[in-house]
Amino acid sequence: MQIGIPKETFAGEARVAGSPETVKKFIKLGVDVYVAENAGNSAYFSDLDYEAAGAKICNQEEAFQKELVLKVRTPQKGELNDLKSGTTLVGMLEPYNKEYLAEIAKRGITAFALESAPRTTRAQTLDVLSSQANIGGYKAVLVGVSEYPKLFPMLMTAAGSTKAAKVIILGAGVAGLQAIATAKRLGAVVEASDVRPSVKEQIESLGAKFIDVPLETEEERAAAEGEGGYAKAMPASWLKRQSERVAEKIAKADMVISTALIPGKKAPLLITNDMVQSMKPGSVIVDMAVEQGGNCEGSEIDTIKEFNGVKVIGFTNLPARVSSDSSALYSRNIYDFARLIISEEKTLIIPEDDDIVQATLVIKEGQLWKPNKNKNQA
């Protein structure tokens, strides 16, 4: 059996789907690994590192021709013709983009979208969203700090003292919790908001204060429970109260980091133009949801906008800005998943009784596949 690891060609993508560490593990399993020339350069893994781990270096087209192809991003349009019928593709394949999945399916392949893995204990080691969101939350704080014109911690000097920065985190999922932890480590005073009351304890355990917006109706309580470990869209009644409460906090904040996402839907608007205008000049907003429509009104993809002295940062793909570690973690995720579909005989299988495999299966032998329901969508 042969595994191919192409070089990522999406603009700004510096990660790679296999590290020398995981290549060595695959070789130990008894499979051959082919890595496209310079595939790991942006993650600081050289071709020599891969060869030392046991991989063979090949060209980009050859990497796409293997039985199992490991990717970070979904194949770009120019790469689709490189996919061979019968290939199995694994990566972050944007499972909600059914139109593009249909284009990929025309190549007669089988594909697994790792974003669709269930939030279960068994699936934790292959949870790509969590591993990458952790890095994104960390980097969001550092990006914000780089544009903030003051010190983050309280600093006492012979010339006087500086005040600690006040930071608001919107959304306390994996990215938000890491942003809280990073901002606290840098000495900021942190408050955080989330639709789920259950995260209050996690927020406070990191030393931050929970911005509480009580749930007043059964509809609000049901939505706040979320689904499958993810947040759900909240009723307008609660969003109005949250907006008013958050607006008070934002007006006094030095930095706001928004992380709120709803799988498969447009990101909720949490920060209005009026809120931005209420902030002090020199304040910073980092909108981690900009690629899904944005939590902040006025944020733009991969741009820093300035409104009356307030900087709004809309950088996408923050994990790629920490390319070496994000690639190492992603590679471990994808290795743990691959173990589920590689049999002892070193052939590819699709176990019907494996909830992780079935949840991530989006294309089967050229047909769009509905996860957890063994029938075609076509």
Query: Catalytic one among 32, 49, 119, 202?
Result: 119
Measure CA of the first residue to CA of the last residue in the chain; give whole Å: 30
**Residue 182, C-beta contacts closer than 8 angstroms, at least 6 positions apart:** 137, 138, 141, 142
Say whether 119 is catalytic.
yes
Residues with Cβ within 8 Å of residue 271, at least 6 apart in sequence: 170, 246, 250, 256, 258, 285, 287, 295, 296, 297
Q: Is 76 a catalytic residue?
A: no
Three-state secondary structure call for residue 191: strand
Would residue 230 show up in a list of annotated catalytic residues for this protein?
yes
- CA-based radius of gyration for the chain: 22
Catalytic residue among 76, 85, 124, 198: 124
Number of neighbours of residue 281 by Cβ within 10 angstroms:
11
Strands 110-113 and 166-170: what pairing?
Answer: unpaired
Annotated catalytic residue, options 34, 42, 82, 127: 127
Distant-in-sequence, close-in-space partners of 323: CB < 8 Å, separation ≥ 6: 14, 15, 42, 43, 44
Tokens for 324?
Answer: 């070496």
Is 221 catalytic? The answer is no
Rounded Cα distance, 301 and 314, in Å: 5
In whole angstroms, give the CA distance from residue 373 to residue 350: 14
User: Is 124 annotated as catalytic?
Assistant: yes
Q: Exactly one of 32, 49, 230, 245 is catalytic; name it.
A: 230
Which of the residues are catalytic?
A: 119, 124, 127, 130, 230
